[in-house]
Structure 1
Amino acid sequence: MSAAIRLPAGSCALPNKAFADWRQARHDELAAPGSWLGLAGLFWLEPGVNRVGSAAEALVRLADGPAHLGDLVWQDGRVLWHPVSGDACELQTDSAGKATVVDVENWSFFIVDREGRLAARLRDRDWARHRPFAGVDYFDVDPAWQIEADWQALSPPITMEVPNVSGDLKSVEVAYQAVFELAGQKVRLLPMAVSDQDVFFVFRDRTSGKESYGAGRFLKTEPAAEGKIRLDFNRAYNPPCAFTPFATCPLPPPENWLSFPVTAGEMKYRSGE
């Protein structure tokens, strides 16, 4: 489909302040010490003892600091942190929510669980001192990309095997789909997750790899109401993998590969390096 696709006229203007506030919150998130831009490593753990430190033989390798900071012991479904100095403690992974964070000077690490594979994710909290965040570019705001879609139940629900950038597969049960028409074409989007707070989509389109990030973008919406869901593509945003090689982002399922360009939301991140 041509990039000159004509969109239906928007029924209302996007509130400028609301969008500016959303954009500012996004900037603040990416500029913060805990930003994805501060990740410095992703180290897949092995069962048993995993050494942490700056020594060459450390599995979780720090760029500086003590040669041997401690050991991560993965055994019987648990991960224990045994620092060289101090008491041992059990670390919670991110599978049940917020992971336990271990802080060491400007470094921190925590354990992520990806379908039973565990990894220590390392973060440099002082990253912005060396390379301050300059911001993300956006397509122009266009109220025509605020689309009211039908929220249709799938009977029976379907199960998708969704890959991430590390090659792992995650089974996702999908019970609904968002359906709308654009330029005479019927479009269906499958959600990756549905909760009482929001609905989460992963999609790619004809801008992917050109104006926008190649592996697609994320979109969160408010929950559906009365059989309708509002898809505001002006709020489409880059996944963590657009900012770091140490994230494990889900990839868009083939059903969410749109055949037209979505000229709305965040554009490709350019680090300036």
Structure 2
Amino acid sequence: MSPAASDDLLQAHQRWHQARINELSAPDSWLGLRGLFWLASGDNSVGLNADGELEIPAPGAALGVVHVDGLYVEWRPVAGSGLPMVTDRDGAPSTVNLKHRTIFIAERDGRLAARVRDSGWAARQPFYGLRCFPFDPDWVIDAEWLPIDPPQIMELPNVLGELRPVKVAFCARFVHQGEAVSLLPVSFGDDGAFFVFRDRTSGRETYGAGRFIKAGTPANGRIALDFNRAYNPPCAFTAFATCPLPPPENWLAFAVPAGEMKWGKPEH
């Protein structure tokens, strides 16, 4: 790789990294989550617990209810009119602001959960950045994008201990230290491919439950895997996420010293 091409990659990586910092330090960051409550059919009461946090079902007097009928959700305050709530299935969800907290609805495989966010978290708990391996252009890999015929069904685990079947019709294949390596996307669409993987750094230098990579749209049977952009899943930052875990097919037998490292407050 020429020095000019390497510099271009570094500058693009620095822009990507800054966007990642902006995302994690924003008011709607994963770091602002304060609760995750799976909803039952019917009325789910919302109220304050002894610590002044919102809780569902309410431990005491309710401020209102989240009403569930199938996948239809409505916020019904104690006083006032009901408000239909759109889930996050197709994009940005509806929100309800209540007692300095925001409630929104997550939809996961036909199940509904209310998430509670503190939008003012950063004023009391500023984001202190990310630890990353130094950028290495050798970890920008030009991989083959190969069809799987017939497509296979992969069991994708998540942090809740559940398995979700995923149809996989392609794989990314490259050579590392003389050995052929394949990565299976857990999703693939018009905007590219999404991978969940772990490697020999997992649980040591990097987050133990693995990392994510988003790759662009394949072209001419090739796909670029930039491991410098391997990033921590939401569950590295909050206990209120429902992250997918790396399927066994994506457990790499070697270390990938690129991308984000374990997240944590720096020591002084």
- The normalised TM-score by structure 1 is 0.90
| Per-residue CA distance 1:89-143 (angstroms, 9 max, x = gap) | 2212222332211122531011112222211011001111221100010001000
Amino acid at match of 1:42: L
Distance 2:74 2:98 in 1: 16
Give secondary structure in 1 for the equivalent of 2:144.
strand
Distance 1:269 1:77 in 2: 35
Q: Give the superposition deviation at 1:272.
A: 5.1
Aligned match of 1:172: 166
Amino acid at match of 1:159: I
Distance 1:201 1:41 in 2: 27
Question: Quick one: which of 230, 234, 238 aligns to 2:228?
Answer: 234
Aligned match of 1:122: 116
Question: Quick one: which of 66, 72, 92 aligns to 2:86?
Answer: 92
**Given that residues 232 and 260 in structure 2 are in contact (C-alpha distance below 8 angstroms), is that contact kept between their aligned partners in structure 1?**
yes
User: Would you say how many aligned residue pairs link Structure 1 and Structure 2?
Assistant: 262
Distance 1:61 1:232 in 2: 46
Q: Would you identify which runs of 4 or more consecutive aligned residues in structure 1 move more than 6 Å?
A: none
Note the aligned Cα RMSD (angstroms): 2.1
1:129/1:170 CA distance change after superposition, 3 Å? same
1:59 aligns with 2:53: no
Give secondary structure in 2 for the equivalent of 1:21.
helix
Q: How do 1:117-266 and structure 2 match up within 5 A? A: 117-266=111-260
Gapped regions of structure 2 (runs ≥ 5):
none
Distance 2:70 2:160 in 1: 24
| Per-residue CA distance 1:146-185 (angstroms, 9 max, x = gap) | 1100000000111112111012222211110000000011
> Which stretch of the first structure deviates more once superposed, 101-110 or 140-149?
101-110
| Per-residue CA distance 1:58-104 (angstroms, 9 max, x = gap) | 52569xxx952210111243211101222102212222332211122
Q: Percentage identity across aligned positions?
A: 52
> Which stretch of the first structure deviates more once superposed, 51-60 or 94-103?
51-60
Give secondary structure in 2 for the equivalent of 1:154.
strand
Distance 2:139 2:131 in 1: 17
Distance 1:55 1:68 in 2: 10
> Which stretch of the first structure deviates more once superposed, 79-88 or 132-141?
79-88
| Per-residue CA distance 1:186-244 (angstroms, 9 max, x = gap) | 10000011111121110000000110000000001111000000101001100000000
Distance 1:205 1:218 in 2: 12
Distance 2:30 2:55 in 1: 23
Amino acid at match of 2:176: L
Aligned match of 1:13: 6
Question: Quick one: which of 77, 80, 83 aligns to 2:77?
Answer: 83
Amino acid at match of 2:248: P
Amino acid at match of 2:112: L
Amino acid at match of 1:80: E
Distance 2:201 2:72 in 1: 43
Amino acid at match of 1:106: H
Amino acid at match of 2:13: F
Q: Give the superposition deviation at 1:271.
A: 3.2
> Which stretch of the first structure deviates more once superposed, 239-248 or 166-175?
166-175
Give secondary structure in 2 for the equivalent of 1:170.
strand
- The normalised TM-score by structure 2 is 0.92
**Given that residues 48 and 74 in structure 1 are in contact (C-alpha distance below 8 angstroms), is that contact kept between their aligned partners in structure 2?**
yes
